[in-house]
């Protein structure tokens, strides 16, 4: 049964289907941000800028979690779904 689970996981990794929920969420956020900017409100502009800053911070955190080594890297990878094990955790 464990080989079936490994095969399913490798299929998700190989096809990139694990990215679909994130891509759908990102597309929805972009559409909402564009609609908010069309209102011309300063609150909408501030909200969109905050959204951009949060997205950039999330990407930077994931990149740092992937590239960090040692105990700090393991702690960061545990906090990101899908990054439970890194290259140095498999030993």
pLDDT of residue 21: 76
Q: What is the model's pTM? A: 0.57
pLDDT of residue 4: 54
Alpha carbon distance 48, 42 (integer Å):
10
Q: Are 29 and 51 in contact (CB under 8 A)?
A: yes
pLDDT of residue 83: 72
pLDDT digits 0-9 by tens, 13-61: 666 566 677 778 888 888 888 888 888 888 888 888 888 888 888 888 8
pLDDT digits 0-9 by tens, 59-68: 888 888 888 8
pLDDT of residue 5: 53
DSSP codes, 28-72: HHHHHHHHHHHTT-HHHHHHHHHHHHHHHHHHHHHHHHHH--HHH
């Amino acid at each position: 049964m464990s080989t079936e689970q490994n095969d399913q996981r490798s299929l998700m990794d190989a096809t990139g289907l694990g990215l679909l929920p994130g891509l759908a969420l990102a597309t929805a956020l972009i559409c909402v941000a564009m609609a908010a900017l069309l209102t011309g409100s300063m609150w909408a502009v501030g909200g969109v800028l905050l959204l951009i800053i949060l997205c950039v911070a999330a990407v930077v955190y994931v990149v740092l979690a992937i590239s960090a080594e040692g105990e700090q890297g393991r702690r960061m990878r545990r906090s990101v779904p899908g990054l439970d094990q890194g290259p140095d955790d498999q030993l």
